[in-house]
Structure 1
Amino acid sequence: MRFWSRSSCVTLLLTVPVCLLFLAMPLQAEPIDTKIYKEGELPADSRLNPLKDLNGHFPFTVPESKKAWEERAADLKRRILVATGMWPMPERTPLNPVIHGKFTREGITIEKVYFESMPGHFVSGLLFRPENAEGKRPGILSPHGHGGRLHEYSEKQVLQMITRGQERFEGSGRFPKIARCVQLARMGCVVFIYDMLGYADSVQISRKLAHGYSEPRPEMENAERWGLFTAQAESRLQSVMGIQSWNSIRALDFLESLPDVDPTRLAVTGGSGGGTQTILLCATDDRPIAAFPQGMVSTSMQGGCTCENCSLLRVGTGNVELAALFAPKPQAMTAANDWTKAMMEDGYPELQKLYSMIGKKEDVFCNFYPNYPHNYNYVTRAVMYSWFNKYLNLGLEEPIVEDDYEVLTKEEHAVWNEEHPAPAGGDEYEVSLTRQMSDRDDALIASLEPTDEKTLAEYQRVVGGAIETIIGRKLPASDEIQRTKVDKQERDGYLLFKDKLTLTSRGEEVPMISFFPKNTEWNGHVVLWVDGAGKSALVNDQQEPTAEVRQLIESGNAVMGVDLLYQGEFLVPGTEFNETPKVESPRAFAGYTFGFNHSVFASRVHDILTVIAFIRGDEHAPESLSLLGTNGAGPLVAAARAIAGDKVNKAAVVSNNFRFTQLPSFRDPQFLPGVVKYGDVPGLLSLSAPYPLWIGGEEAGVPTVVEKSYSAAGAADMVTSSGDSEELIQAAVEWLIAK
């Protein structure tokens, strides 16, 4: 970027051949061609490749040091919490648990349970206890996985599994999820198996919706009344996975609260979808001391159900790394002839390396059973029993052999009956639940609005931290950025540069044009102008710099314009970009796309950050850098400023009252998962405090949360606004020029 150097520009001017005719006449400017690439050429950008989906490859690269892992782990834990709607952690409202219908099997008692994970939202399940046990016992939480706790194999299937060595008894083989609960209770543990949404006695959200959602429901998509899987829900990070993850935390609260449970000896185990819940709960909750996440620790398929995916969750990570967050605590699993079949070569060695690095090599274990399909069968359960025997200090003699049990009747399985009627569900309940969660989260974020430096720091930690996760990128290092010079022209009153910036570490490319003052001495200031139409917006219909660009140049500023992803030269000529790409799936679920890939909005912010890092990293860095966002790019600039902080001296954002709640679909290019939860556009703007900020097009003036943030920072005079919808760009330029 040496073209920002005063000395280089002087040298250029001195070496340009000058003739009398040239001196006597102004340069006759030919129309500006803002194109960087040859005809038919697109940027060599990795983001133009097919999107990653749940069937991709998700390797775990172990950091080089314990400290590096701790930093990575902190980011990942926040990612899980943000993605599942639990950042900041919601209030734990009263559970109001009901335990009833006690009955027995050999050596154990079984009871029916329901409680409220949120007011009016019920979690149901069965509680298994050792009969006549004394003192406090270990507590084991058991999320069941697909098929539910009532998952039943036919007599023919069970006999086949017994023949193949997968099961030992007809009873335990017929209901394998109940079998593990019975055996663990016989081993002296208190076990709670709880229903995932739509299974067994979880009736308020249907199984068809929670696990089979496929087609959009226009009647449930409204800014005031919305259901799950809608743009409104996704922009608030409301998802089936999020609800189930919250249910898991509350289920652990329930288990821990029981008088016969030792709160220092809690463990979690689940298979398949229950394995996914085990991974996430153990990654984010400090209470479990041992885990057995079965069937989902894999660098391959990450979980195919809508209940196992949500926006933001696995962007840049995968299940093996998420399972690693439980380290250094002991965990084990088995691999089978399914998507886990490569674990012994790809996944488990990395877990061993991590555990070894932190001095706990023996506390992670995986065994491979290639003859068995996806399972939590008798053989796998035996590994789990031994693991918990050791790490829950049960003191039982090995090997532990599972015994059969008398299967439960339908009446014994059922939590709801005449005395305990099932709660109502359906569309109206779904809408009331999303509204309840929204009101809860709005109140929680509002309670963080700052009043002084201390509360500002906490607000920025929580809301700013969430936006960091949602955007998913910090400023790159300048040595990751390569500049390719394409063209340089001397024109009437300015120099024009054409360049390509490549973020080499990511394979991303940004086409860029720059205007450098020639007749006026450069004042050391750079304005990065980001427009919704891309860099072509910096020239007028006559293909000359617009009046506002001219004004900036003549005031001594350098001006840069860029095409962000899917703008300008990222598009085939004659095409428009009105709908964001999605993965190949017939199901209209945002989590399948944005659970593994950045949104277009976030990717465009990445491009802005790349250019900021390029400017700031050059040896002839300018004295100041300003951002200007116009024509729909205001929110992009607000988000980039929130990440870049003091690397941007001034930011001018033309918002025109845009709010993300206005978007009708997650396919809209402006869609950004979670942004509404954290304050929408005003929330993004508030994170600019205490640095100079101009806001254009907000009819009500500076939004309240922005005012509060700047006042708390002692910088109330650093934010200003213009609500007049006319001449906003001119007003922004004048503010940028002003000292």
Structure 2
Amino acid sequence: MRTTALLLLTGLCVVSANTCAADGTDHRVFDAGQQPDDSRLKDPKDLNAYFPFVVPESKAAWEQRQAELKQRVMVSTGLFPMPKKTPLNAVIHGKVQRDGFTVEKVYFESLPGHFVSGLLFRPEGKVTSKRPAVLSPHGHGGRQQNYGADKMKALIESGAELHEKSGRFPKLARCAQLARMGCVTFIFDMLGYVDSHQISYEVAHRYSAIRPEMELQGRWGFYSPQAEGRLHSILGLQTWNCIRGLDFLESLPDVDAKRMAVTGGSGGGTQTILLGAVDDRHIAGFPNGMVSTSMQGGCTCENCSLLRVGTGNVELAALFAPRPQSMTAANDWTKEMMTKGYPQLKQLYEMLGVPENVDCYEMLHFPHNYNAVTRREMYTWMNRHLKLGLDDPIQELDWEPLTKEEYTVWTDDHPEPPKGNNYERKLLQQLNDRDLEVLAHHKPEGSTATQNYLSTVRSAWSTLIGRGLPKAEDVQRTKGWKEVRAGYLEFGDYLTLTTHGEQLPIVSVYPKSVEWNQEVVLWIDGQGKQGMFPNGQAHADLLRLIDAGYSVVGIDLYGQGEFTTNGVPLKENPTVKTSRQFAGYTYCYNDTVFARRVHDILTVTAWVNGDEHSPKALHAVGVNGGGPLLAAARAIAGSEFSKAAVDTKGFRFGTLKTWKHADFLPGAVKYGDLPTLLSLSAPNRLWIGGEETVPGIVTQAYAESSASDSVGSSGGRLDTTTAAIEWIIQQ
């Protein structure tokens, strides 16, 4: 038995470019001043990085990835689980006639009191059968974007536009032509544009500086830590407005709901991509100007926390497959699409058996656009897939532009709704109440409701953390040093997670004076492995574990100990280089410090339990700020830990004052905060310290799992670390 234990703790020396050289005198694995060779120590990825799409090897693998990413999109946009849809109360008024089509003003409530405004283009003539429909999120510049007379001359000379009048309004031009082709077409205002004033343009698209008055308890707005903790974002609201836009079209008596399509350009292209990921109703798409392995969208309305972690716009566009979609490559961030992005989309569609359902037109002689040449390709695509039966190519016709009176939705008879900071605060509270309702207010009643709630939030937390238990074979151990201490042996090594380029310094201690009981305890500490050795000496509670026959493993998690230059754990998340104080610019593309630390716990867990000389039991204690990390790891790893002792110190994600805090995790408040996270340990054995009583949802979860005896608490003890260790030993 003693030989087996030593094999577990010393392992085999794995050849690595980064070797251990320290001697263990200060419990370091690497030499002083040396950090792990870890990919996460590079600068955070930003929206201008490279985002390749790697096509899975099989249809089954793609379907699994597709489901995972669809959930990521829904979680990140605040739409998981899907909120209850309230009545639209749509109003259509102010019809005007043009040659071949009519235009009407529209407004409806995507949420009670929150209005979506826009213009409805319909084919001219009597309705004899239901018509196809196209939803058109316009993109930056607004639906009334006007090139002006001076610019139009150059655009016509270059071939980018055809008609001086209608070409000046390129977003409306596509709507008019689609209506002439027989499609009911709705173009709606992005937040802050034209008639959408409830959330201002400056807030939706130009947010930069923190607004202290919008970060008050119970009175918060977008971009605040409260909003980020609940995944409420401008992008999420616009995605919801898109969904409700399809609802509106579907509700019209002259629309064939089985023949709907979506097209938008630039920021509207981003919305087209995301709508295609979360809504299955439309059968064709033309997301223009944003399907790219390069820049992913620069506006605050195109980014939100969690959205593109481990993915990018090409793969997100691929979620629309196998439905037909097309796009263009222009002389902008999409210019490499013909060699980087489109070939992978083509490969995916071929694997799915429909290679004809994806296309990309090369138009590198034009800058970023949705011009007449691009629109012509879109018309051809819609003609084919909406089965319009028209002859190609379709020639766009000129028309008389709308006057301001004709395109303005709000009038004396249809007054503009409330706007400003107070409205924004009210809206954010409304979004919070909406989420609580669909999540049963975090207080489910009855067995079925409890199990449904826990299943839903468990799925959501898997997205928030963003990684499961790695394969044991992907974790390599490199031997460092061995020290003989009084009563125990101490080993310094590091683990490498080969699939992610991550390295973890670990210290393992093994009882020398008593026989090993074949059980291992992970010591998760807010100070890293130094937490086991305050002032350089073994913690009294560490010695208790050793004397009881346990081996103990301490870890420097990301941002702790040897990951830092001064040994002091990170207090804030590294952020991308920008002056704009928006969490989404960082967390859209990068895991948080909290999530990365949970990943590290999972890596060590996989290594211990996957070793050929694995122990008969693995336990874990989370103390000194490590409790919430262990709670999250336990929610993912489940029974991989036989026992878990979590000292919460009363921590709640919802009390953090800044989204930069090292313990911040987007969405954690929405999905029940720490109490719900603890409840996801059921039915496995759990001890909770730092709480006056066991949280109600934890008690409920264990009772519904017929495991009430498997959860305990500190019972008010203040020496929670000692109490946690005693529980591990005595249970």
Q: Determine helix, strand or coil for the equivalent of 1:277.
A: helix
Shift of 1:454: 5.0
Which residue of structure 2 aligns with residue 45 of structure 1?
Answer: 38
Give the counterpart of 1:73 among 66, 70, 78.
Answer: 66
For 2:4, the aligned partner's letter is S
Aligned pairs for 1:417-496 (under 5 A) are 417-446=411-440, 455-496=449-490
Contact 1:4 1:622 in 2 (8 A): no
2:391 paired residue among 394, 397, 407 = 397
Which residue number in structure 1 is paired with residue 273 of structure 2?
279
Match of 1:346 in 2: 340
Following superposition of structure 1 onto structure 2, how do residues 589-604 of structure 1 map, counting pairs within 5 Å? 589-604=582-597
Query: What is the aligned partner in structure 2 of residue 206 from structure 1?
Result: 200
Residue equivalent to 2:20: none
Identify the match of residue 105 of structure 2 among 89, 97, 112: 112
Q: Distance in 1 between matches of 2:207 and 2:2?
A: 54
Query: Aligned to 1:652, which of 631, 636, 645?
Result: 645
Q: Which whole-Å CA distance do the structure 2 matches of 1:509 and 1:617 have between them?
A: 17
Q: Which amino acid in the other structure matches residue 724 of structure 1?
A: G
From 235, 244, 254, the equivalent of 1:260 is 254
Tell whether the 8 Å contact from 1:452 to 1:713 is kept in structure 2 after alignment: no
In structure 2, the residue matched to 1:197 is: 191
Q: 2:562 aligns to what SS in structure 1?
A: helix
1:687 corresponding residue in structure 2: 680
Matched residue of 2:216: which SS? coil
Counterpart amino acid of residue 735 in structure 1: W
1:247 lines up with 2:246 in the alignment? no
Secondary structure at the aligned position of 1:170 is classed as coil
1:359-391 CA distance string (max 9 Å, x none)? 000110101111100000000000000111010
Q: Which AA in structure 1 matches 2:704? A: A
Q: Could you tell me how far 1:490 is from its partner in structure 2? A: 2.1
Question: Aligned with 2:477: secondary structure?
Answer: strand
Q: 1:662: Cα distance to partner?
A: 1.2
The Cα offsets for residues 210-261 of structure 1, whole Å up to 9 and x where unpaired, read as 0000000111112322110111100100000000000100111011000000
SS at match of 2:600: helix
**Is residue 2:706 matched to residue 1:707?**
no
* Conserved 8 A contact 1:149-1:193: yes
Secondary structure of 1:362's match? helix
**2:610 maps to what in 1?**
617
TM-score under structure 1 length normalisation: 0.95
Q: Counterpart in 1 of 2:116? A: 123
Amino acid at match of 2:675: P
Q: Give the alignment partner of residue 548 of structure 1, picking from 513, 536, 541.
A: 541
87, 90, 95: which one pairs with 2:88?
Answer: 95
Return the letter of the residue paired with 2:299.
C
Counterpart of 1:319 (choices 313, 316, 322) is 313
Whole-Å Cα distance in 2 between the matches of residues 390 and 169 of structure 1?
Answer: 25
- Give the AA of the match of 1:61: V
Task: Give 1:670's aligned residue.
Answer: 663
Local SS of the residue matching 2:54: coil
Aligned to 1:727: 719
Equivalent of 2:730, from 714, 720, 738?
738
Provide the TM-score with structure 2 as the length reference: 0.96
Name the SS for the 2:585 alignment partner.
Answer: helix
Describe the superposition over 1:471-492 as per-residue Cα deviations: whole angstroms up to 9, x where unpaired. 1111111111111111112222
Per-residue CA shift, 1:293-325, capped at 9, x if unaligned?
Answer: 010000000000000000000000000000001
Counterpart CA distance in 1 for 2:613 and 2:24 is 30
The 2-side partners of 1:465 and 1:391 are apart by 35
SS of corresponding position for 2:479: strand
Query: How far has the Cα of 1:443 moved from its partner?
Result: 2.4
Post-superposition offset of 1:723: 4.6
CA 1:31 to 1:86, structure 2 compared with 1: closer, same or farther past 3 Å? closer
Moved more, 259-268 or 37-46: 37-46
Q: CA deviation at 1:540?
A: 3.3
Distance 1:376 1:11 in 2: 62
Please give the per-residue CA displacement for 1:275-307, whole angstroms capped at 9, x wherever unaligned: 000000011101000000010000000000000
- Paired residue secondary structure (1:720): strand
Say which is worse superposed, 439-448 or 347-356, in terms of deviation: 439-448
Hey, what does 1:633 align to over in structure 2? Answer: 626
CA RMSD of aligned residues (A): 1.7
Match for 1:571 among 543, 564, 579?
564
| Match for residue 173 of structure 2 among 152, 173, 179 | 179
SS state at 2:534 partner: coil
Q: Is the 8 A contact 1:223 1:661 kept in 2?
A: no
Which position in structure 2 is the counterpart of 1:5?
4
CA distance in 1, matches of 2:151, 2:568: 55
Alignment deviations for residues 183-226 of structure 1 (CA, whole Å, 9 cap, x no partner): 00010010000001000100100000100000001111123221
Identity of aligned residues (%): 57
Per-residue CA deviations over 1:675-699 (Å, capped at 9, x if unaligned) read 0000011121111111011110112
Secondary structure of the equivalent of 2:431?
helix
Q: Distance in 1 between matches of 2:281 and 2:10?
A: 67
The superposition leaves residues 74-97 of structure 1 with CA deviations (integer Å, 9 ceiling, x where unpaired) of 000000000000000000011111
Of 670, 690, 700, the match for 1:697: 690
Between the aligned partners of 2:5 and 2:24, the Cα distance in structure 1 is 26
Residue by residue, what CA displacement relative to the aligned partner does 1:313-372 show, whole Å, maximum 9, x if unpaired?
Answer: 000000000000111110001110000000000000000000000100011010111110
Asked if residue 539 in structure 1 is aligned to residue 539 in structure 2, the reply is no
Distance 2:6 2:618 in 1: 19
Asked whether the equivalents of residues 548 and 733 of structure 1 are also in contact (C-alpha less than 8 Å), the reply is yes
SS of 1:629's partner is strand
Label 1:511 to 1:3 Cα distance change in 2 as closer, same or farther (>3 A): farther
CA-CA distance at 1:721 after TM superposition: 1.5
SS of residue paired to 1:376: coil
Aligned mates of 1:651, 1:444 — CA distance in 2: 30
Cα pair distance change 1:639/1:409, threshold 3 Å: same
Q: Match of 2:306, as an amino acid?
A: L
Unpaired stretches in structure 1, ≥5 consecutive residues: 13-29
Distance 1:234 1:373 in 2: 35
CA contact (8 A) 1:579 1:667 kept: yes
Q: Which letter maps to 1:347?
A: G
Q: Displacement, 1:606?
A: 0.6
What is the one-letter code of the residue matched to 1:139?
Answer: A
SS in 2 for 1:329: coil
Whether the 8 Å CA contact 1:456–1:713 is kept in 2: the answer is no
Partner of 1:23: none
Shift of 1:576: 5.7
Query: Residues of 1 paired with 2:511 and 2:568: CA distance?
Result: 34
CA separation in 2, counterparts of 1:489 and 1:452?
A: 55
Q: Which amino acid aligns with 1:568?
A: G
> Does the 8 A contact of 2:440 with 2:453 survive in 1?
no
Q: Which residue is equivalent to 2:17?
A: none
DSSP-derived class of the 1:335 partner: strand
SS of aligned partner of 2:103: strand
For 2:570 and 2:276, locate their aligned partners in 1 and report how far apart those are by CA, in whole Å: 41
Aligned length: 719
**SS in structure 1 opposite 2:630?**
helix
1:216 aligned residue (210, 215, 220): 210
Question: Is the Cα contact below 8 Å between 2:646 and 2:688 reproduced in 1?
Answer: yes
Q: 1:3 to 1:533 in 2, by over 3 A?
A: farther
The residue type equivalent to 1:181 in the other structure is: C
Residues 1:550 and 1:406: Cα distance change in structure 2 (over 3 Å) = same
